[in-house]
Each structure stands twice: as C-alpha cells, then as structure tokens.
Amino acid sequence: MMINFSKHTFILAAAFLLLPWGQVAFGSTLKVCQTCSYTSVKQAVQAAKPGDTVLVDGGVYQESGITIDKPLTLIGKNNPIIDGNFTGQLISVESDNVTVKGLTLKNVATSYRQNDAAIRAKGRRNLRILDNTILKTFYGIYLEGSEGIVIKDNVVRGENKDRTESSLGNAIHLYYTDDVEISGNDVQGHRDGIYLEVVKDSQVRNNLSHKNQRYGLHFMFSDRNVYTHNTFRSNGAGVAVMYTSNVQMEHNTFEDNWGAASYGLLLKEIRDSVIRNNHFRRNTTGIHMESSSRLDIKSNDFDRNGWAIKVMTTCLEDTFRLNNFTGNSFDVSTNGKSQHNHFENNYWDKYSGYDLNKDKIGDVPYRPVSMYSMLVERVPPSVMFMRSFMVDLMDNIEKVLPSFIPENLVDEQPMMNKINHDNNRELTQVVRKAAGAEGR
C-alpha cells in the first residue's frame, strides 16, 4: 500500500513539474492599491509570474504601455481606473491565456499610424476581455490574427461629435481573428460599433450598438458567422454585410437608423444566408440589397420604414416569405423591370384584395412595387409629391395597366391577416393546406 502511495505521489509531482507555466492552476495574487506593495499596475504586471493574478483595488492610475507577456489574470475591484492621458496604448497583450476584467480604461491616444487601443493583441489565443468600461477611445478593443476570444459585457464609449469617419476608430475591431464570442457589450460613439474583417466561425449576440458614425456592425469577407438578439439603433446605418457568405441573422432589432443614405441592413455581394425573425422599425430603408443571392428572408417585421426593402436587379434567387409589411411609405422598390426573386405568403397592410374561400390567403395577387416608387428610385427629388392625388392616380392606373413595374415581382398568395411569428406552426399548417388545395 505504501509502495502504491509513493508511486502515485511521484507521478503527481512529475506531472506538476511538466506542466507548462501557462497552465499552472494556482498562482499568487499581487495586489495593487495606494497603500499596497505595488502602487503601479505596470510594475505589478512586470513582477508577476505566469499564472498569477494582479488584483487592482480601487484608485486612479495614470499609466499607459502596460504589456502583458505571460499568462495572467488582470482584474479590477472597487472600480479602479487606468487613465492613459492620451499618451498611447493602454494594455498590450503579448501572451496566450490572459484575462482582463473589471477595469475602467480611459483616454486612449488617437494615432492614425499605430491604431492605438485600450486593449490590443496580435497573434494570441484564449483571451477573455470581460466587464470593462472603456472611455474616450480611438479604438476600444483591437485584435489581429488571434483565435478563441471572449469579449463580453464591456461598455465602450467614444466621442464622435463634430468628427469625421476617418478621424474615428472602431469600438471592437477584429482582423483575421476566428472563433470569437462578442456578447452583452454596449458600444457607441465610434466609426463602427463592431467591425469584423476576415473573421470566421464567430458569434455576435445580445449587444447594443448605437450612435456610431458609420455602422453598428460591419462584416467584410467574413464567412460562417452568426449574429442574433442584438439591437442596432441610431447609427449611420445599422449593419453592413459585404462580400460574405453563410451568415445567420436572427432576432435582431434595427431601429431609427435615419439619413439620406442610411439603412437598417445593407447587403452587398452576400450569398447563401438567412435573415429571420428580425424587427426593422423606423429606418430610412429596412434592407438595401445589391448583388446578393440565395437569401432566405423569412418571418421579419418591417414597420414604419421609408422603404421596407430595396432590392436591386442584380439580386438573384432570394426568397421573401411570411414577413409583415406595415406602415412603410414604400414596401418594395427596385431599379429595373428585371426580377429573379420570389415573394410568397407575406402580409401587406396596403393589400386591398379579398378572401372568398376564407382560407386566410388573398384570392388575387399583390404587386408591392408601385409606379411612384420606381419614379422616386430614378428621380429622387420626386419624393416631394408623396401622398398627392397625382401619385394615387398614377399608381391606380399602373395597377390596371402595368407597364413600368416588374411583371414578376408579385406575391401570388398574400396573407389576409398580420402574421403572428410566435405561432408559426399554425401558420405553416394554413399555408400548407392552401398549397395543397392549389395543387388539386
């Protein structure tokens, strides 16, 4: 028995000694405060060993250029503030397995050459950036060539008043970085709230992105990502997805994104993606689509937008089904007579058809594009005649003798009642029943 015990002890001791420093589970805690052994965050980080925790307990620290070059947990207690005084980057992470949590970081320098940030990392894995408040930043969080990242529950506030796009950085900026969770953050006052360039297999969820100069969320060349349950409010435009495929967009709210060239959602050269169960409210344009193909746009609410959807003739094989269109000035607009997309079983509050067989589906098709919307697309100043008698007359004549609107942009079976997306099972049964009756 004694022999076995000694053997096990030897094995455990050997395993402990063989562990890389980055995986040591029980490090020391170095405390930083006005009366502690360490009164500087930078000094404590430099003195720490791999696996240690640096605990900053309250106070204001006038520091920048803090470099974390070992596996470390840097954590704040009692709201400590690290004030960079606009002298450069605050925290540079140069190690894997690092956590930065619970700090207030503020006054990051504006640098067009170095792209200074409150927290920056390049080529790192397993970083956790949690519960921080970042104020007056150029870039808030800037990650490059990294993977396995969690950015959660941070508040990032920039100042973009009276500034141009080119003079601003992004709140959360990711470049060539994969497998990232961005959740529960509140970002505002930057060029883009969240910017992803060549980012794959990541999730963006439960964030609030508002009052940013350009986009609330911006994808470029970023495939296989998911964004759900976010709110994009009062940005230059809500979300832009460009040159990307296989993006899942569900349960988001796009609201109050107003401006001459503003959108709730801008899609450009995107394919094979889904847009489901989102709310588009009070945007200049709910969705603007160019050169986008094979999109499934289902069960969304478009309410009180200027244009609910602008779909350019370069879009192919997109399907719009089971969406609600209510209170929009224009439901659908396009820039030509050619159309290769499909509309089915949507609810249109402007639809004036009838339902003689009481199957909840209109008996006559609905054409959501009006002649006036085609005119406004070609001659924007003509929008000043909206709601005039001449416009009503023009649209009514076009309905009887269509000549300008796309002939095949039509919902053959519009729904008679607004769709309750919480009750889609019953709705699906109604649609299938109607489709069966049609086929007989």
Question: What digits encode the pLDDT tens for the residues 44-88?
Answer: 999 999 999 999 999 999 999 999 999 999 999 999 999 999 888
For residue 416, pLDDT beyond 80: yes
Work out the end-to-end distance of the chain between its first and last CA atoms, rounded to an integer number of angstroms: 82
Q: Average pLDDT for residues 6-12, to the nearest whole number?
A: 47
| Contact between residue 1 and residue 25 where contact means Cβ atoms under 8 Å apart | no
Question: What digits encode the pLDDT tens for the residues 330-352?
Answer: 899 888 877 789 999 999 998 98
Note the pLDDT of residue 329.
87
Mean pLDDT, the chain, rounded, equals 87
Q: Give 183's Cβ-side CA count (13 Å radius).
A: 12
Note the pLDDT of residue 19.
46
For residue 109, pLDDT beyond 90: no
Q: How confident is the model at residue 20 (pLDDT cuts 50, 70, 90)?
A: very low
Question: What digits encode the pLDDT tens for the residues 233-282?
Answer: 999 999 999 999 999 999 999 999 988 778 999 999 999 999 999 999 99
| Length of the chain measured in residues | 440
For residue 388, pLDDT beyond 70: no
Q: 416: burial class by Cβ within 10 Å (0-12, 13-18, 19+)? A: middle
Question: What digits encode the pLDDT tens for the residues 128-154?
Answer: 999 999 999 889 999 999 999 999 999
Q: ∠ CA(18), CA(19), CA(21), 5° rounding?
A: 125
Q: How confident is the model at residue 168 (pLDDT cuts 50, 70, 90)?
A: confident
Question: What digits encode the pLDDT tens for the residues 352-376?
Answer: 889 999 899 999 999 888 766 666 6
Note the pLDDT of residue 24.
45
For residue 110, pLDDT beyond 70: yes
Question: What digits encode the pLDDT tens for the residues 172-231?
Answer: 999 999 999 999 999 999 999 999 999 999 999 999 999 999 999 999 999 999 999 999
For residue 303, pLDDT beyond 90: yes
Note the pLDDT of residue 336.
80
* pTM, to two decimals: 0.85
